[in-house]
Amino acid sequence: MENMSTNILHSKIFAYIKYIFLFLLLSLVFFIYQSHVVTDFRLNLIIIIVSAVVFIVSLLNFKYALYFFIFLVPLLNSIPNVLRIENKPVILFVFFALVLGYIINRIISLTGWSRDKISYSGNYAALFGVIGIFIAIFSISAVITIFRYSNFFPFITDNYHNLAINVNGIDSTYAIFWTINFFFNYIVGFILLFFIIKTFHNFDDIKNSVLILISSTVVASLVLLYQYFLNPLWGNSEAWVAAERFNGTFNDPNSLGSFTVMLFPIFLGFILYIPKWYKKIILILLFLPFLFAIFASGSRNAFVGIFISIIIMVGVGIRELILWMNKKIKKKRTKAWIWSVLGLIAIAVIVFVVVSSLNLKPELAEIDKPENTSISLVDRMVETYWMAYNTFFKADLIEAFKSVSSYRYALWEQAAAMFKDHPVTGVGLGSYILQLPNYYVKNNSNVFEIDFTGNYYLQLLSELGLPGLLLVLSIFFLILVKVFFYYRYNKRLYRSQGRIMDGMVISFIAMIGSLFLGPHTNFFEIQFTFWLILALILKYTGQGRLYAE
């Protein structure tokens, strides 16, 4: 008995030392990184104040700190734009405080009087195994990439030389911190997922998180209304204002557009979930500014993602209607999927007849072009259709795509070239955009547009090779499998609580589709929101037995 007590004491002492060492090490890393990246005193003061609040709340109740962080995710990202300084990932530094608060919580829990009951439940072994392998791969890639840009100092060279790493003159120091930034971008989503899996217990936690995110979205939408009607340059750049595109509280309009893709079905699902009619009306009224944000962002990616969501929701609605009709007419033996297929075929026939009846001209005259509406998304979609249609008739489908792709075709070509040169390792974490100028020169490209890949999956392929892409696809696949079996065996699919789940799943699928048109998770606020939704889906499916109505 005495030996057992001694072993327990030694185990606690070791745990104390481990967590205290981890806290001090991460504090030092975070401090060094933030002091290098954020040099503006005003921004640093804002970050310190907000981070201190998050940290203190995390000591009192880590779940509430998570709620508070979720509320902040959409709101802090335009602060550098408001201060007219270079863009910095403000929400990342606030997340650092949340991580440190979690470690202190673990230390406190060793005394037995922690207020937080951090739990772990559900079968996530396979998923966490794949995530662990992916973290190992991109961590190794980050380390090797950093040493490569430092000329492997101090192992090969005696001194650190800040040399140019591409034809545009980007130096080693910039490239190293760029790589570190991408390392944080990749890992924070998994850490947030871990926090949610460990901390949330039941449906109320999921519902509260969704409600908090929607509340934050409403605030961001109201800020965008102020920006659009009263002060276009507030938190926005002159270039975006000239293009009649607005960002609200986000980094830029593209980030706002990606966020709306994820929130659109969740917002609608929550409206359907709320039982009281007057609460539904309030939510619908709050939904209107959010709809305006979709149009004001001018993001064509948002249009595609939301179109995917609407198609899925229409399909779900048709199936639900058919199930309801089957129940009413008491044809129990009728297979619902047969009626679903017939309904979709009928819709396809109607669409085909309508499109076929249109009087399509070989080329659209400029005089027939609709006038500018001053609504960015509408004008951009009209311009996109106009240019693609005319280019298609003058040339072919490939040229039509090139005309409206914002140089994505050139970015994709260079990503493919990088993968061809480095199929297993890629060019290194975060290195696509750094190596892009070199590849333009190497391949004698007529285009010299410097941007991200324009495709999340090609970014993984070019930077982390085939293993990186396969691992991420495996993570998505395992989540979809859990969703499939949840829907397959859960009999309360179409009851009220399931509306929130439906919204999150549609959001996930729409985002998977939207990622073909851009690596939107390069924005920290999008990365956090994306993995928040995935974590809530996993928590819901992992504890489905707790949600019986």
Give residue-wise pLDDT tens across range 293-303: 888 988 888 88
Q: Which of 117-126, 185-194, 313-322, 374-383 has the highest mean pLDDT?
A: 185-194
Is the bond into 154 cis (omega within 30 degrees of 0)? yes
CA 275 – CA 270 distance, rounded (Å): 10
Which residue type is seen at 136? A
Q: Is the pLDDT of residue 421 over 50?
A: yes
Other CB atoms closer than 10 Å to residue 23's CB: what's the count? 18
CA distance 312 to 306: 10
pLDDT for the residue numbered 120 = 47
Could you tell me the two tokens for 141? 């890639």
User: Cβ(433)–Cβ(451) under 8 Å?
Assistant: yes
- 62 vs 441: CA distance, rounded Å: 51
The model's confidence at residue 158, banded by pLDDT at 50, 70 and 90, is confident
pLDDT number for residue 307: 87
Secondary structure of residue 72 in the 3-state scheme:
helix
How far apart, in Å, are the Cα atoms of 271 and each of 213, 285, 294, 400?
14, 11, 18, 39
Over residues 350-366, the mean pLDDT reads: 60
The rounded distance, in Å, linking the Cα atoms of 460 and 528 is 18
CA distance 133 to 468: 9
Instruction: Using a pLDDT cut of 70, give the percent of the chain over it.
Output: 81
The pLDDT score that the predictor gives to residue 5 is: 63
Which one, of 285, 216, 207, lies nearest residue 249 by Cα?
216
Joined tokens for residue 317: 């609605």
Q: Where are the alpha helices (DSSP H) in 38-171?
A: 41-60, 62-72, 79-82, 90-109, 125-149
Binned at pLDDT 50, 70 and 90, residue 223 comes out as: very high
**Residues near 117 by Cβ (< 8 Å), separated by ≥ 6?**
201
Distance from C-alpha of 490 to C-alpha of 349, rounded to nearest angstrom? 33
The pLDDT tens digits for 44-62 are 999 999 999 999 999 999 9
**Measured between alpha carbons, how far is 201 from 76 in angstroms, rounded to an integer?**
28
Which pLDDT score is estimated for 546? Answer: 41
Buried b (16+ CB within 10 A) or exposed e, 99-132: bbbbbbbbbbbeeeebebebeeebebeebbebbe
pLDDT tens, 380-417? 777 776 676 666 666 666 666 666 667 788 899 999 99
Beta-carbon contacts of residue 504 (< 8 Å; ≥ 6 apart): 210, 265, 266, 269, 533, 536, 537, 540
pLDDT at 115 over 80: no
Burial class, 383, CB count within 10 angstroms (exposed 0-12 / middle 13-18 / buried 19+): middle
Q: Is the pLDDT score of 360 beyond 70? A: no
The model carries a pTM of 0.89
Higher per-residue pLDDT: 396 or 23 = 23
Which H or E run contains 15?
Answer: helix 2-37
Asked if residues 428 and 144 have their Cβ atoms less than 8 Å apart, the reply is yes
The single-letter code of the amino acid at 105 is N
pLDDT value, residue 465: 96
| CB neighbour list of residue 173: distance below 8 Å, 6 or more residues apart | 162
pLDDT > 90? residue 224: yes
Residue ranges of domains in the chain = 1-118, 125-299+411-549
Cβ neighbours around 135 below 10 Å, total = 15
505-537 pLDDT, tens digit per residue, is: 999 999 999 999 889 999 999 999 999 999 999
- Which residues are bridge partners to 208 per DSSP? none
- What lies within 8 Å, CB to CB, of 488 at 6+ separation is none
Q: Are 57 and 65 in contact (CB under 8 A)?
A: yes
For residue 443, the tally of other CB atoms under 10 A from its CB is 12
Averaged confidence pLDDT in the chain: 85
Residue 147 CB-density burial (10 A; 0-12 exposed, 13-18 middle, 19+ buried) = middle
